[in-house]
A and B are shown apart, each in its own frame.
Chain A
Amino acid sequence: MHQISLSSETDFDGWRDAARRLAGQGVPPAKIHWSGSVAGGDDLFAAACAPEPASPAHWAPREVKVPKAFIDMAKRVICHRDPARFAWLYQLLWDLQSNRAALTDPLNDAARWVKGADKQIRRDVHKMHAFVRFRKVGERDGREVFMSWFEPDNRIVGLTAPFFMRRFTGMDWTILTPEACASWDGKKLTFAAGADRSQMPAEDAIEDQWRTYYASIFNPARLKVDAMLSEMPAKYWKNLPEAELIPDLIRQSSQRTGALLSAPSTDANIRSSRMSNFFAEDEAIEISSLDDARRAASKCDRCPIHECASQTIFGEGPVDARLMIIGEQPGDQEDIAGKPFVGPAGQLFDKAMGEANVERRKAYVTNAVKHFKFTPRGKRRMHQKPNAGEIDTCRFWLDLERKFVAPDVILTMGATALRGVFGKAVALKDMRGALTQLDNGTRLIATIHPSYLLRLPDRQRAAEEYDRFVDDLARARSLLRPDAA
């Protein structure tokens, strides 16, 4: 039997040195008896077990290797209060030598115990981070000084102090616990032996404000005592200033809720009548310019698409543009940015416009439908084609745009845009390439929608179609008077 006494209850380095040596010598877990500093003296086994003879000379120590996750976990688990922690850690170390994956094997007992203990430690640490309450003691050299008393389940002051140091760097503080104390003075974190509660200052004026806040944030109609207790067990209450309120809050809750439920509703305050003018509805806008149309369209609720879309995406470009380009409807990115043709199809459109030598800023670019229609699919919004009714409803706005811009040439992209212009289903393949004269003298060229190019799986075909698209754009330009492109 090997008797190992460590220098303290949380002596990780000592444990590691001993464990490394023993595992290197191939000493099985059952042959070791571990103890922290306190238990060492009066241990029953201590006298009975003579130290093992040293290993034979020919027995070369093995190299002991563990994953990094084990070291991190062991540093925490060593702070656990269970005396068996040293032995379990060694058992896991032992298992790891023959099975590299023992740590992630949910069926390994040592891994399960150590992970379970680690979970308790992490919870304990988390609760200490949460429930330490500082009281202001005074000021020293222009820095505020705070003090706290806390009673953790395990020996975790060393594990928690760095958190408080990072969070409360700008103030001096001391955390007292029965077994160890930690202090920060703005430069150095120091640890000292345990203290007792009497060293803690009695009151802090801010605690009254905190209690007021605590009592007011509680909604008596939602009383759920068990949910509170599972996260804030009563063992912590004695060091929480707000906890003294809890019994009364619980006791009064049903009465308070009952009072709310039975109270008659009250009459409107006098203020409310004065507010009615403030929110008087805007007068119906009479639309006599493109800007009027844009303003009126921003409130459009003529069809149900507006209920999900973020905003109306009205056309963009100069009112005296000679070329009007009409697409289908805004997409996800247009809906967010508030502008037409900025998403993937818009970028392709811009590229093609560049190659066709058409300046986008001189053209009026719009869509047949002004709101984004979609179905949510997981984290994305999938574009949905607007139906005939929606396109026809939205013609109201497109017609106004056509009226005020009065372009010489209209370029429609895709079938929706064609329907937007003609008000009835027109097959794109019949129209494409031909030049159509509209009733008011405007000439129309129909081409495909750039998003069609993005959907073509065949690269060769996509390249050909892209070239045709650029040709169509160039053709539209050639119809304009030379100075208007």
Chain B
Amino acid sequence: MGICHAYAPDGRCISLLKILMTNFCIYDCKYCINRVSSNVERARFSVDEIVKLTLDFYKRNYIEGLFLSSGIIRSSNYTMEQMVEVARKLRVEHNFGGYIHLKSIPEADPALIEQAGLHADRLSINIELPREASLKSYAPEKSGTVIRSAMANVRYGIESRQPDRKERGKARPPRFIPGGQSTQMIVGADQSSDSDIMTTSASLYSGYKLRRVYYSAFSPIQDSSGDLPLIKPPLMREHRLYQADWLMRFYGFEKDEIFEARQDGMLDLELDPKLAWALERRERFPVDVNRASREELLRVPGFGTKSVNRILSARRHTTLRLDHIARIVRSLKICRDFIETVDWHPSRALDLVTLRERFVPQPQQLQLL
């Protein structure tokens, strides 16, 4: 389990030393501060400097490990070689037991990705933008095909090392990225809709067995390119995307269900996607918590996976009443209109046209200065 050793004032966890080997880069990705056309000051770490810094921080319990990324210098292969060398030195020469995440370079030789996999806990290859067309206009040197085939290589590397069922018990194969692979997508830099983003995610999760897709709200950068919007990062949109992502991975939702009532392909910013879905599909409610299946319970707004597990085990002991549910879930406010217990039925609430207004955050009166 990873530990967050600190939190920045942006509320984000700092568990890894997350650095670029260099911010020199020969690519011209419009959204990136380090693109070749940017006037930002350039610097470069040597392999040994990164190794020393990682060990110094790790020994003081500041970090769990290293997250190494880099601009592309000279060539993709050269850059990847340097990154693999950092991982190798840490593991082989310093017996480093911490976590190593390498941001692999999709254009690099598959043999280098193989080597990286032997030392790293996780590899990630960024998909950057959800649509091929966006990639063409914002990151002209990158190609979705190259990125996806690199991800395919990583999945192949992992699966081909899984021991055959017949050969279990023989010597274990050497470890190969036990933490699997992940990717990142930038949200808000191009015109892609939430639906485009989740379509890409669904396809990546199913195709490359990704552990995570990270959504990153596009933040303004210094020395920005005129081709991109100067906006505050769309943090709520990012949050809703993560919620939709969770619905697909842990709650049995398909992407098309989440977006079936969203004509513009954008998630509701005011309500979480499960609640928004339930308000459109009221015929499926109320759900009887004493009888419903796990799948049905997982679709009740306000019930998380843990609450559902607790309900399933509690109802082995007793017939559930509303106050039992109140003790199990964090709050009744959202779920009560969608469930039924022996002593509670939402009666006509589900037929109310104004039901949505119960959940939408109240507008706030401005203060006189």
Q: Which A residues lie at the B interface, using CB under 8 A?
A: 101, 104-107, 112, 126, 129-136, 144, 146, 148, 164, 167-168, 170-171, 204, 206-207, 209-210, 213-214, 217-228, 231-232, 240, 242, 246, 249-250, 253, 257, 260-263, 265-269, 271-272, 275, 278-279, 299, 306-311, 332, 335-338, 374, 376-381
CB of B89 within 8 Å of the partner chain: no
B contact residues around A217 at 8 Å (CB):
8, 14, 18
B254: which A residues are within 8 A, CB to CB? 377-378
Q: Does B145 contact A (CB under 8 A)?
A: yes
Within 8 A of A (CB), among B196-255: 202-203, 205-209, 217, 219-226, 230-233, 235, 248, 252, 254-255
What number of B residues sit within 8 Å (CB to CB) of A? 77
Complex contact B235–A265 (CB within 8 A): no
* Complex alpha-carbon distance, A269 and B225, angstroms: 11
In contact, A336 and B6 (Cβ under 8 angstroms) = no
State which of B7, B28, B233 has its C-beta within 8 Å of the C-beta of A275: B28
CB distance from A397 to the nearest CB of B (A): 15
Q: Closest 8 A-B residue pairs measured CB to CB?
A: A227-B11, A224-B11, A268-B37, A272-B37, A310-B152, A265-B226, A376-B206, A222-B10
Contacts of A309 in B (CB 8 A): 148
Query: Is B57 among interface residues, defined by CB-CB distance under 8 A?
Result: yes
CB neighbours of A275 from chain B (8 A)? 26, 28, 36
Given A107-B324, A268-B37, A380-B206, A246 and B61 contact (CB-CB distance below 8 Å) = no
Chain B residues whose CB sits within 8 angstroms of the CB of A242 once the complex forms: 6
Report chain B residues within 8 Å CB of A209: 53, 56-57
A140 to chain B, nearest CB (A): 15
Q: Are B9 and A223 in contact (CB under 8 A)?
A: yes
Give B contacts to A, CB under 8 Å: 3-14, 17-19, 26, 28, 35-39, 53, 56-57, 59-62, 95, 97, 132, 140-141, 144-145, 148-149, 151-152, 155-156, 159, 202-203, 205-209, 217, 219-226, 230-233, 235, 248, 252, 254-255, 310, 313-314, 316-318, 324, 327-328
B8–A228 touching, CB < 8 Å: yes
* Cβ-defined contact, A107 with B317, below 8 A: yes
A159 to chain B, nearest CB (A): 15
Q: Is the CB of B5 within 8 A of A171?
A: no
A335 and B318 contact, Cβ closer than 8 Å, known pairs A144-B59, A260-B222: no
Distance, CA A219 to CA B60, complexed state (A) = 24
Quick one: closest A residue to B159, CB to CB?
Answer: A336
CA distance A463 to B54 in the complex (A): 61
22 contacts between A and B (CB under 8 A): A106-B310, A106-B327, A133-B62, A148-B61, A206-B56, A222-B10, A222-B219, A223-B10, A224-B9, A228-B7, A249-B9, A250-B9, A260-B222, A260-B224, A261-B231, A272-B37, A310-B151, A338-B149, A376-B202, A376-B205, A378-B206, A381-B207
Q: List residues of chain B with CB within 8 A of the CB of A204.
A: 60
Question: Is B3 touching A210 in the complex (CB atoms < 8 A)?
Answer: no
Question: B218: nearest residue on chain A (CB-CB)?
Answer: A221
Residues in chain A near residue B316, CB distance under 8 A: 101
* B36 adjacent to A379 (CB under 8 Å): no
Of the candidates A224, A260, A381, the one whose C-beta lies within 8 Å of that of B206 is A381
Contacts of B9 in A (CB 8 A): 218, 223-225, 228, 246, 249-250, 253
Whole-angstrom CA separation of A186 from B19 in the bound complex: 31
CA distance A221 to B132 in the complex (A): 28
CB contact between B314 and one of A106, A132, A299, A311 (< 8 Å): that residue: A106
Cβ contact within 8 Å between B152 and A218: no
B203 touches A306 (CB 8 A): no
Q: Once the chains bind, are A260 and B220 in contact (CB under 8 Å)?
A: yes
CB proximity of B61 to chain A, nearest CB, Å = 5
A101 to B318 CA separation, bound complex (whole angstroms) = 12
Q: In this complex, what residue of B is CB-closest to A278? A: B26
Q: Is the CB of B224 within 8 A of A279?
A: no
Most chain B beta-carbon neighbours within 10 Å: one of A204, A271, A380: A271
Asked, given contacts A306-B145, A311-B148, whether A105 binds B6 with beta carbons under 8 Å apart, the answer is no
Q: Return A241 CB to nearest CB of chain B, in Å.
A: 9
Of B13, B57, B155, B209, the contact of A231 (CB 8 Å cutoff):
B13
Give the chain B neighbours of A223 by CB distance below 8 A.
9-10
B57 near A210 with CB under 8 A, answer yes
Measured CB to CB, the closest approach of chain B to A156, in angstroms, equals 15
Q: Report Cα–Cα, A254/B120, bound state, in Å.
A: 37
User: A269's contact among B37, B202, B203, B224, by CB below 8 Å, is which?
Assistant: B37
Q: If the complex has contacts A269-B39, A379-B209, are A206 and B60 also in contact, measured as CB distance less than 8 A?
A: yes
The answer to whether A219 touches B5, judged by C-beta atoms less than 8 angstroms apart, is no
The answer to whether A214 touches B324, judged by C-beta atoms less than 8 angstroms apart, is no
Interfacial chain B residues near A246, Cβ < 8 Å: 9
Q: Closest Cβ of chain A: how far from B143's Cβ, in Å? A: 9
CB neighbours (8 Å) of A226 from chain B are: 11
Most buried by A among B60, B206, B328: B60
